[in-house]
């Protein structure tokens, strides 16, 4: 895993590694209060003055119904947006994703080189180890609170 800052580069081996990590089973929650949960949430540390940081997490859905993720926000940033990465003719670009499906009993992965939470204009200096509260918005109006840690590299599963 590289130690660089937020980049949108093609990293197939890294993505494969994350997919392999995704096999873990999710706990089945009480259907009455069933809600998706975020794991391994982190934000890529960036140099002071950076105007956009990328956030990553694995969102698991233990419920029998699907959800749709529509937006992200944080009180530590002026603006948040869901991005997805597309590769055209070998060139990687990112674009705004207005909605991302989270299948029933499935997972949605935000990961380097793929979908990510684009966090723009930080309101405070964010250093390695700092915690940031992110809020994912679902199409049904639910909000998922995520506590992300600022790190240089992706966390490895314990």
User: Which residue has its beta carbon closest to Cu ion?
Assistant: 83
Closer to Cu ion by Cβ: residue 118 or 144: 118
Closer to Cu ion by Cβ: residue 44 or 62: 44
Closer to Cu ion by Cβ: residue 47 or 141: 47
- Footprint on this chain of Cu ion (rule: CB under 5 A): 83, 94, 118
Closer to Cu ion by Cβ: residue 96 or 127: 96
Please give, one letter per residue, the 3-state secondary structure of the chain.
Answer: CCCCCCCCCCCHHHHHHHHHHCCCCCCCCCHHHCCCEEEEEEEECCCCCCCEEEEEEEEECCCCCCEEEEEEECCCEEEEEEEEEEEECCEEEEEECCCEEECCCCEEEECCCCCEEEEEEECCCCCCCCEEEEEEEECCCCEEEEEEEEECCCCCCC
CB of 51 to Cu ion, least distance (A): 12
CB of 144 to Cu ion, least distance (A): 20
CB of 94 to Cu ion, least distance (A): 4
CB of 101 to Cu ion, least distance (A): 19
């Amino acid at each position: 895993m590289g130690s660089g800052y937020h980049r949108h580069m093609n990293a197939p081996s890294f993505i494969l590694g994350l997919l392999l990590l995704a096999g873990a089973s999710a706990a089945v929650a009480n259907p009455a209060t069933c809600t998706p949960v975020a794991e391994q949430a982190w934000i890529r540390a960036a140099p002071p003055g950076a105007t956009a940081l990328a956030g990553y997490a694995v969102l698991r859905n233990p419920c029998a119904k699907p959800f749709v993720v529509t937006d992200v926000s944080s009180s530590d940033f002026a603006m948040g947006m869901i991005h997805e990465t597309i590769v055209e003719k070998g060139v990687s670009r990112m674009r705004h994703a207005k909605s991302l499906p989270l299948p029933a009993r499935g997972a949605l992965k935000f990961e380097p080189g793929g979908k990510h939470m684009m966090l723009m204009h930080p309101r405070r200096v964010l250093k390695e180890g700092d915690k940031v509260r992110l809020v994912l918005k679902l199409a049904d109006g639910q909000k998922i609170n995520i506590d992300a840690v600022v790190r240089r590299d992706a966390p490895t599963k314990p």
